[in-house]
Every structure is written in structure tokens, then in C-alpha cells.
Amino acid sequence: MASVPPPPIPPQLSHSDEPSSKKTRIETKTIPTTKHSQRQLHLAVAGCSHGEMDYIYSTLAKMERNRGYKFDLLICCGDYQALRNNADINTINVPHKHRKLGTFHQYYSGEKVAPILTIFIGGNHEATGFMAELPYGGWVAPNIYYLGFASVVQFAGLRMGGLSGIYKSADYNKNHFERPPFNNSSIISAYHVRSIDIFRLKLLETTKKPKCPMKMPLALKRQNSWH
């Protein structure tokens, strides 16, 4: 669990009661909030974050200065790499040359505070041990929230679902059996999507298909609309 005390969930981000590097790609979307709202909502969406939180936040700060507004929310779509310390590097399934601590640990320790409320899902390059501690999601640092294997949150009138991991048919119908210490097999299967989580998301009445998959920035661009 995080050593920093998790901040209380602000009223604008809450769980639904229903079942539930520099190559980082960032896209933004401005959408009107509900008809009663007084202003638009400014969302930023990043693809693989790869532990480059400093780079992402500084890029967004520049965009804010250029555009004259503040982002309300940052959504990170997988490969977030919430590495708390050097020990966590041993729980991430990436080639040795890509094993870098990144900058998340500074936000975890409290040395820095995320300037924008951030939510993320897991991809296939994550701190598996840390993520396994939060199967249903939770605060990993002040202002940074992990959605867990699959869950739904509400923010400023938007309802957003997240599904972590990648699809692998051989593990799809298994349970989440992986526990630390991970071996060469379980450190990989731990991030494979499970049918139980798809089932939970399908129970959501207004959900036609799982939202916020790992490739969401591409989907957003293609569809040019927010669902």
C-alpha cells in the first residue's frame, strides 16, 4: 500500500456503486459538460505514459499557457509504470534496457504533487506487485488514481469506465490467481484481461462495450467524439 496517506476522494471523482518517455502521445478533448454547467471541460488523454510523469505534466503546462485554460483531468491509457522504488523495477515485465525508474516515485513519495487530477489504467508494462495491491483501484499518490482491473468513476457529470491489461485468450477465463512473488509466468499473465472483469463492465446499464481501453487515444481521434 502507498506509504503516503491517500487523500479523500473529492466529490467530482467517485466510484460507481454498480458492479462493476517522450514518445508519450497526448491528445486533448474539450467537451461541454451537462446543460446546466457554466463552462466546458478540458480533458487530456495520454497513451503509454512509461513513467514519464514529469514530461507529461510539463507538456500539459505548456499547452495550458498557450491555450489559456487549465486541464480538468488527465487520463492515462496504460503502461503507466507506477514504479515506487528500485525494487518495483523487478516486478515489471520489460526488457532490461527499458527498465528505468521514471519519475512517478517523486509523486508517490510526496516530493511532487500531480498538478492535474490523473486517472489511469494498467497496460502490459506495469509495476505488477504494486498494482496487485489495488485490484479494485485506489489512490496511488495524491491526485493520481488507479482504476484497478476494471472499474467506473464519475467526474464532473461524466461516467468513465476503465479496463486494465491486454487480451490473451489462454488466460481469459482464469481468475486473478497471481500473487507476489511472481515467477516468469505469473508476472506476464497478471496483466491479461479476465472475462470476469468484462462481465462486470457489461452489467453497467448504459455501457455498450468496455470504455477506456489501452488504445483509447487512437479511438478518440478516429471517432472524433467522446463516448
The footprint of Zn ion (CB under 5 A) covers 48, 79
Q: If residue 8 lies in a helix (H) or strand (E), which one and from where to where?
A: none
Distance in Å, CB of 128 to Zn ion, minimum: 15
Instruction: Work out how close the CB of 65 gets to Zn ion at its nearest, in angstroms, rounded to a whole number.
Output: 28
Q: Identify the bridge partners of residue 155 per DSSP, sorted by sequence position.
A: 13, 158
Give 42 or 50: the residue with its C-beta nearer to Zn ion.
Answer: 50
Of 20 and 91, the one with the shorter C-beta distance to Zn ion is 91
Q: Which of 18, 28, 47, 31 is nearest to 152 (CA)?
A: 18
Find the shortest distance in angstroms from Cβ 189 to Zn ion: 18
Residue among 80 and 139 whose Cβ is closer to Zn ion: 80
C-alpha neighbours within 13 Å on the C-beta side of residue 157: 11
Per the CB < 8 A criterion, the answer to whether 105 and 114 are in contact is no
The answer to whether 22 and 52 are in contact (CB under 8 A) is yes
| C-beta closer to Zn ion: residue 130 or 155 | 130
Nearer CB in complex with Zn ion: 147/152: 147
CA distance 9 to 216: 25
Whose cell is 512473488? That residue is: 181
User: Residue 124 Cβ, how far from Zn ion at the closest point, in Å?
Assistant: 7
- State the DSSP code for 184: T
Q: Shortest distance, CB of residue 218 to Zn ion, whole angstroms?
A: 13
User: CB nearest Zn ion: which residue?
Assistant: 48
